[in-house]
């Protein structure tokens, strides 16, 4: 089989979010997160039988274009510059990267600020070797890193989605939103040890603290990218967090999930995307030019 990781680094998007993504601060922060978590977690995989495509905006600043070959290094990933990626272009890129296609294709979405367990690829390829029709695969358990605190999280439709299928008319893991792939294909959920790592930081909209607090001591072996100063909570801290704080957080999260489902029903995916763009823009602050205009310099 052919296994390819797919990452959108700073592909242009419609609306104001494209301006936010083009800002110097956003890009430099994402490069930092990419170097600290995403890139080393992929390079640490126990199975090297995969390829990795990372898409970049052709209008990226010069400093980033000069940095990309250094990051890609030794075949770590294949950088591709596109203003957008439609289905036909994606399939063509996949064929170019893998060379002569084998019988089956596995594609996995990986965000540029997230990380993988060292055995993610190995476990996935074992699952993908089971004969089946086109199927979406999710590892349901992962970790969330927020500052120096680590949380264990079960998310049955997480962003680390994979699709295994024939090379004949592939749709890939980007066929739909990661949590909607089950509408067009069967889904297989894989339990077990944590397989992925999400990092909560100021530049993301969807990621937030979820799950129960855990000690990093039990997870650093599979996630060497976890910083060494990540906390080792005491039994008392764990009891307080998991018996008091976590249930309250769950109730709030349940309410947000309900609102999100209702928004999709009323506004559709495009409408929800526009709302998320606005939230992302507000967190990022004013785009250069808009702030100047507000100050009367135009």
Mean pLDDT for 239-257 is: 60
Predicted local confidence at residue 271, as pLDDT: 61
Cα 285 to Cα 23: distance, rounded to the nearest angstrom: 10
Give the model's confidence band at 257: pLDDT under 50 very low, under 70 low, under 90 confident, else very high.
low
Predicted local confidence at residue 109, as pLDDT: 98
Cα 212 to Cα 172: distance, rounded to the nearest angstrom: 32
On whether the CB atoms of residues 237 and 184 are closer than 8 A, the answer is: no
On whether the CB atoms of residues 177 and 264 are closer than 8 A, the answer is: no
**Dihedral angle of Cα 21, 23, 26, 28, to the nearest 10 degrees:** 120
Predicted local confidence at residue 263, as pLDDT: 54
On whether the CB atoms of residues 5 and 161 are closer than 8 A, the answer is: no
Write down the domain spans for the chain: 2-233
pTM listed for this prediction: 0.78
Give the model's confidence band at 213: pLDDT under 50 very low, under 70 low, under 90 confident, else very high.
confident
* CA 227 distance to own-chain centroid: 19
Rg (CA), the chain: 20
Between 239 and 246, residue with greater pLDDT: 239
Residue 221: CA count within 13 A, CB half-sphere: 3
Q: Best-predicted range by mean pLDDT among 198-202, 220-224, 242-246?
A: 220-224
Mean pLDDT for 104-133 is: 96
Average per-residue pLDDT in the chain? 83
Q: Are strands 51-56 and 2-8 parallel, antiparallel or unpaired?
A: parallel
Q: pLDDT per residue over 21-33, tens digit each?
A: 557 788 999 999 9
Topology of domain 2-233, CATH = Spore Coat Polysaccharide Biosynthesis Protein SpsA; Chain A (3.90.550)
Mean pLDDT for 107-124 is: 98
Mean pLDDT for 212-236 is: 84
Tokens of 8: 């959108």
Give the model's confidence band at 281: pLDDT under 50 very low, under 70 low, under 90 confident, else very high.
low
Mean pLDDT for 122-133 is: 95
Cα 162 to Cα 171: distance, rounded to the nearest angstrom: 11
Predicted local confidence at residue 297, as pLDDT: 27
Give the model's confidence band at 169: pLDDT under 50 very low, under 70 low, under 90 confident, else very high.
very high
Mean pLDDT for 7-30 is: 76
**Dihedral angle of Cα 138, 17, 42, 155, to the nearest 10 degrees:** -20
Q: pLDDT per residue over 70-102, tens digit each?
A: 999 876 899 999 999 999 999 999 999 999 999
Between 203 and 69, residue with greater pLDDT: 69
């Amino acid at each position: 089989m052919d296994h390819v990781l797919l990452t959108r680094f700073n592909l242009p998007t419609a609306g104001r979010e494209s301006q936010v993504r083009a800002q110097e601060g956003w890009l430099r922060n994402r490069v930092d997160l990419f170097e600290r978590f995403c890139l080393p977690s992929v390079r640490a995989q126990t199975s090297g039988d995969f390829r990795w495509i990372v898409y970049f905006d052709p209008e990226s600043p010069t400093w980033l274009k000069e940095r990309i070959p250094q990051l890609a290094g030794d075949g770590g990933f294949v950088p591709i510059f596109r203003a957008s990626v439609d289905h036909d272009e994606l399939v063509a890129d996949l064929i170019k990267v893998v060379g002569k296609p084998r019988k089956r294709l596995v594609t996995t979405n990986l965000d540029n600020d997230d990380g993988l367990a060292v055995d993610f690829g190995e476990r996935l390829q074992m699952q993908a070797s089971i004969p089946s029709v086109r199927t979406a695969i999710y590892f349901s358990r992962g970790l969330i890193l927020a500052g120096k605190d680590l949380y264990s999280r079960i998310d049955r439709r997480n962003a680390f989605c994979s699709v295994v299928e024939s090379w004949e008319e592939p749709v890939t893991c980007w066929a739909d939103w990661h949590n909607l792939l089950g509408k067009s294909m069967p889904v297989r959920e894989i339990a077990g040890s944590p397989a992925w790592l999400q990092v909560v930081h100021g530049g993301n909209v969807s990621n937030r603290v979820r799950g129960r607090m855990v000690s990093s001591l039990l997870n650093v072996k599979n996630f060497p990218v976890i910083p060494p100063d990540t906390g080792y909570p005491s039994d008392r801290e764990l009891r307080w967090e998991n018996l008091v704080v976590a249930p309250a957080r769950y109730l709030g999260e349940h309410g947000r999930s309900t609102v999100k489902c209702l928004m999709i029903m009323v506004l559709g995916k495009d409408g929800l995307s526009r709302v998320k763009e606005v939230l992302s823009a507000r967190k990022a602050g004013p785009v250069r030019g808009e702030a100047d205009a507000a100050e009367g310099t135009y």
